[in-house]
Amino acid sequence: MRPWPVWPSLLELYACGVDIVGPSNLFTLLDSVPPYWEAARAFLYGMVGDPRTPEGEALIRQASPLFQAERIQRPLLIIQGAQRPPA
């Protein structure tokens, strides 16, 4: 999964955003892969980048909302579960 381009018309179209249980930090998400998902780790690295490489680390940082918070231009409602680990 590569970061999607955001067209200015979309930013102006919506008055707010809603995030429902979305990952805020992809580094934390990849670190939390349980042992029984280990076979899927290569697939996840292919989607978001391999954190063991400089290129992958840059892609993950660019795609992680946590590191893009200063770009938020509209109100954002974030909904998380009670058992959600901190980002």
* pLDDT over 70 at 8, yes or no: no
* 50 closest CA partner among 38, 60, 39: 60
For residue 84, being part of any structural domain is answered with: no
Tell me if 49 is assigned to some domain. yes
pLDDT in tens, 22-54: 888 999 989 888 888 888 888 889 888 999 999
- Domains of the chain: total: 1
Better-predicted residue by pLDDT, 85 or 44: 44
Q: Is residue 2 part of a domain?
A: no
- For a pLDDT cut of 90, what percent of the chain falls above it? 32
The per-residue pLDDT of the chain, averaged, comes to 84
Whether 47 and 30 have beta carbons less than 8 Å apart is answered as no
Is 3 among the domain residues? no
Identify whether 1 is part of a domain. no
Q: What is the pTM of this model?
A: 0.70
SS3 of 79, please? Answer: strand
The pLDDT-based confidence of 9 (bands split at 50, 70, 90) is low
Range of the domain at 43: 8-79
